[in-house]
Structure 1
Amino acid sequence: MEHRKVIILGTGPAGYTAAIYSARADLEPLVFEGDEPGGQLTLTTEIENFPGFVDGIMGPELMETMKKQAQRFGATFERGRATSVDLSKRPFRVTVDKEREYTADALILATGASAKMLGIEGENELIGRGVSTCATCDGFFFRNKRVIVVGGGDSAMEEATFLTKFASEVVIVHRREELRASKVMQARARSNDKIRWELNVTTQKVLSDGTKVTGLRVVDNATGETRDIPADGVFVAIGHRPNTDFLNGQVEVDELGYIVTKGNTTATSVEGVFAAGDVMDSRYRQAITAAGSGCKAAMDVEKYLEGEMAHDWSVTMNA
């Protein structure tokens, strides 16, 4: 059974940044890439809001560059997904793909959060070609175009309102007549002249011309009538699901399932286990904030391992 000082679960901006910092600290991290090496950014096209790239950068390119930077300093990457962990004692035990076992003195959880999808025809095929789960990331590309936002909660109202800065029209599509969003968020969206509504309809298919989105097919729940809503983009805003099932309740999470961290640190309820990126961030969910938390996690791990010898980490954490 292979043992490491630090194991990082998950990649994306959080995992890669944690790998860079911990590798530069000579901690020789082992990083498991999960089912989607590079995370959700590998499904995006051009990223224009990540600092340092004047003309933007493609999502897969940014992730590959981060990985190479971590490898340069000695981080090791392996394909595979953590299917279970034992955090009851040190060293921690990690099982990958239900068969390989590893141990570590410290863990960084950077497994992210997966956007909930509609599960309809054309959706997966058109991710990055008109279908998106992040208005902040992709809204700019729909300047003066017509877009659809699917969802009825606060996130959908927020995404729709944000998209009116760029789009010529935003259509909110929801499966019920009533919205789940707070009254404040509903009022804000309803007062926006650029937003129109398609309520009490069920999404059926994302339409395309073979290369890009052209609209969304829906079924009217009251009449059974099928109709097509033309659009250049479809934003799915029905929530996110933090990837924490493999933890089996061993780490404290909030009411939405996101890992709870202590104060301004990345420390979790289990001493020696740290969390970074979207798995602990239900609010911002941006590449740059994930990268920042990955940096913090690596620095916290370094201090923790040093404090292990000095027996002062718990004092520091509770101060």
Structure 2
Amino acid sequence: MTHYKSVIIGTGPAGLTSAIYLARANMDPLVIEGMEPGGQLTTTTEVENFPGFPEGILGPELMDNMRKQAERFGAQFKNGWVDSIDLAERPFRIKVEGQEEITADSVIISTGASAKYLGIPGEKENVGRGVSTCATCDGFFFRNKKIVVVGGGDSAMEEANFLTRFASSVTIVHRRDQLRASKIMQDRAKGNEKIKWALNRSPLEVIADDQGVKGLKVHNNETGQDELVEADGVFIAIGHTPNTAFLQNQITLDAGGYIACNPGTTETNIPGVFACGDVQDTKYRQAITAAGSGCMAAMDCEKYLEGSMAHDWSETLNNEQ
């Protein structure tokens, strides 16, 4: 059994920033990377809105740089999924894919949230080549181009409106003839001259060639015919799923399944357990805000560990007297 002062579950900008701060504070953190080290940014081609890179930087390169920075200060890394975690006792117990059990005085959870996909041909193969799940991240690359947004909720309406800043036109595709979005969001979208509508149409396939996306093949539920909605980009806006299943309801979650933190902190309902990044962020979901919350988690964790160690030392002195 191997013991650590702090274990960080998950990477991405949040987990790696936590690792950098804790390693620099001589807390010797262990980072459990999962099977997709680096998180969602490893599927992003160009990152242009992360401060410090005026010419932009490739997502995988940014994550690799963060990892190297954490390693430079002494953070350790372990690859694999967390099979189980026991937060009921101290120290916390973590099992990684049947490997030896790890114990920790503190845990930072930065497992992120996975964008929901449609599950149609041509979709995941073209992520970064015209298919996206983040308008704020990728909208800039579609100046004066045609875009399709798939979804019928508030997120889809919000993303469609945002994308009209760049696109020549935005077509909203939804499989029903009624939207789930709130009336105010619907009215805002319907009042936007750049937004077109393709309701009651079920997405069938993302059409692409060597140059990128060419459109979205849909089934018209009214006529029974298949159609092609021409587009240079397809944005999937049907929600996210926070990666919290492995916690097995040991931590308080909000209605959407995201980890609930005490206001203004990264503290969960369990002392010594902290959350940062998209696993607790239902609003911003940006690399820079994830990194910021990773810094917060590390500082909250360091403060907790210092208080815990001081308490243990005080108990030792009392026992010796």
| Both structures adopt the same fold (TM-score exceeding 0.5) | yes
Give the share of equivalent positions with the same residue, in percent. Answer: 65
Shift of 1:101: 1.9
Q: In the alignment, what sits opposite 2:29?
A: 29
TM-score normalised over the length of structure 2: 0.96
CA distance in 2, matches of 1:269, 1:98: 28
Amino acid at match of 2:82: A
Q: In the alignment, what sits opposite 2:135?
A: 135
Shift of 1:222: 2.0
CA distance in 2, matches of 1:311, 1:100: 29
CA distance in 1, matches of 2:68, 2:178: 48
Amino acid at match of 1:115: A
Q: In the alignment, what sits opposite 1:315?
A: none
Q: In the alignment, what sits opposite 1:78?
A: 78
Counting only pairs closer than 5 Å after superposition, residues 242-257 of structure 1 correspond to structure 2 as: 242-257=242-257
SS in structure 1 at match of 2:222: coil
Shift of 1:98: 4.1
What is the alpha-carbon root mean square deviation over aligned residues?
Answer: 1.1
Q: In the alignment, what sits opposite 2:126?
A: 126
Question: 1:166-192, CA deviations, whole angstroms, 9 ceiling, x for partnerless residues?
Answer: 000000000111101010110000000
Amino acid at match of 2:180: R
Shift of 1:116: 0.3
Answer yes or no: is the 8 Å Cα contact 1:107–1:274 preserved in 2: yes
Q: In the alignment, what sits opposite 2:7?
A: 7
Q: Residue 238 in 1 paired to residue 238 in 2?
A: yes
Shift of 1:291: 0.1
Answer yes or no: is the 8 Å Cα contact 1:208–1:214 preserved in 2: yes
Amino acid at match of 2:37: P
CA distance in 1, matches of 2:96, 2:203: 36
Question: 1:161-214, CA deviations, whole angstroms, 9 ceiling, x for partnerless residues?
Answer: 000000000000001111010101100000000000000111100000134111
CA distance in 1, matches of 2:146, 2:79: 39
Q: In the alignment, what sits opposite 2:319?
A: none
CA distance in 2, matches of 1:78, 1:310: 29
Q: In the alignment, what sits opposite 1:94?
A: 94
Answer yes or no: is the 8 Å Cα contact 1:84–1:98 preserved in 2: no
Shift of 1:282: 0.5
Amino acid at match of 1:292: G
Structure 1 gap ranges (5+): 313-319
Amino acid at match of 1:7: V
Q: In the alignment, what sits opposite 2:295?
A: 295
What is the aligned residue count?
312
TM-score normalised over the length of structure 1: 0.96
Answer yes or no: is the 8 Å Cα contact 1:242–1:279 preserved in 2: yes
Shift of 1:2: 1.1
Bigger drift between 275-284 and 88-97 goes to 88-97
Shift of 1:79: 0.9
Shift of 1:309: 3.1
Q: In the alignment, what sits opposite 1:167?
A: 167
Question: 1:244-281, CA deviations, whole angstroms, 9 ceiling, x for partnerless residues?
Answer: 00000000000000000012110101111000000000
CA distance in 1, matches of 2:9, 2:279: 11
Larger Rg: 2
CA distance in 1, matches of 2:216, 2:194: 18
CA distance in 1, matches of 2:298, 2:209: 45
Shift of 1:109: 0.1
Answer yes or no: is the 8 Å Cα contact 1:219–1:225 preserved in 2: yes
